[in-house]
Amino acid sequence: MKSYSVELREKIVAAHLQKNISIRKVANIFSVSKSLVQKLVKQQKLEGNLQPKPRGKPQFSHLTNAEVELRELVEAHPDATLIELCEFFADKTGNWVGLSAMCRALHKLGLNRKKKQSGVPKLEQKES
């Protein structure tokens, strides 16, 4: 669900603080919950603004600034699997990362994980 607009938040708080309408009545007028009105009034008093807070947890990865280390690992171990690269990264930096994180990081750096098939001749197409 999207956040309520700042304009609506301001109207809700103004109705309670300036017009001295009870929190329950303000909640009924604007069709919101009583707890939302309480939260907005508290936020206005403490922070001085009614901006919506960011949602979710901030995402953190040990691979964020590890471009140099990843390139060195792939260069040193070109045929390593993802799990092996995760293990090498953990040995080198002390930070374990998951397979999907490693795969995404390699993809962002443009490091192709497909194995090259050297020495295998291509099949020629037969002419009919």
**Residues 25-73: pLDDT tens digits?**
999 999 999 999 999 999 999 999 999 988 888 778 888 888 899 999 9
Structurally, the chain folds into a number of domains equal to 2
Same domain, 38 and 71: no
* CA distances (Å), origin 72, targets 35, 78, 111: 53, 10, 11
Contact 15, 30 (CB under 8 A): yes
72 in a domain, yes or no? yes
Q: What is the mean pLDDT of the chain?
A: 86
57 in a domain, yes or no? no
DSSP string, 50-88: -PPPPPSPPP--TTTT-HHHHHHHHHH-TT--HHHHHHH
Q: Residue 120 is inside which H or E element, if any?
A: none
Report the percentage of the chain scoring pLDDT > 70: 88
77 in a domain, yes or no? yes
Same domain, 41 and 72: no
Question: Which amino acid, residue 120?
Answer: V
Q: Which residue is it, tokens 């939260």?
A: 39
125 in a domain, yes or no? no
Contact 105, 70 (CB under 8 A): yes
Q: Is the pLDDT of residue 75 over 70?
A: yes
Cα Rg of the chain, angstroms: 28
Which residue range(s) make up the domain with 35?
6-47
Q: Is the pLDDT of residue 3 over 60?
A: yes
Residues 6 or more apart in contact with residue 95 via CB below 8 angstroms:
62, 89
Which pTM value belongs to this model?
Answer: 0.48
The residue-averaged pLDDT of 66-93 equals: 90
124 in a domain, yes or no? no
- Tell me, what DSSP letter sits at residue 19? S
